[in-house]
Amino acid sequence: MAVRRVMSVLTVSDLDSAVDAYARTTGMEVVMNHGWIAILASPEHPAAQIGLITKDRTGPSNMDASIEVENVDAAYTAAEQAGMEIIYELHDEDWGVRRFFFRDRDGNVINVLAHL
């Protein structure tokens, strides 16, 4: 299974001020902002990214990390076979991703996605 990107996602109370603070502190630039989640990336190393989120728009909880894969359906099957707790079933989102969430044995919530 090919992984395209892995990113930590931090829950913040005020997205705009958090984006501003992280951008000023790190020099990262906003590459996506949906108003409830924003992704910042290094201009020199675009794969170096961090997500900031207030409240997930459709999922049951905020994620701790996001993993973009080549084949999200195969990842879903693998998560089920590994005994992961699926807390958000496979779903095509209106912002152009297909994703699901699983909770690992330690309570971490992982968003697994592929762009449509």
pLDDT of residue 1: 76
Helices (H) and strands (E) in the chain, counts: 2, 8
Mean pLDDT of 28-53: 97
Residue 81 · residue 89 · CB < 8 Å: no
pLDDT of residue 49: 97
Please report where in the chains the tokens 């330690």 appear, as a residue: 106
Give residue 74's pLDDT band: very low, low, confident or very high (50, 70, 90).
Answer: very high
Give the rounded percent of residues in the chain with a pLDDT score beyond 70: 100
Instruction: Using alpha carbons only, give the angle 43, 24, 40 rounded to the nearest 5 degrees.
Output: 45
Mean pLDDT of 32-53: 97
Which tens digits make up the pLDDT trace of 84-109? 999 999 999 999 999 999 999 999 99
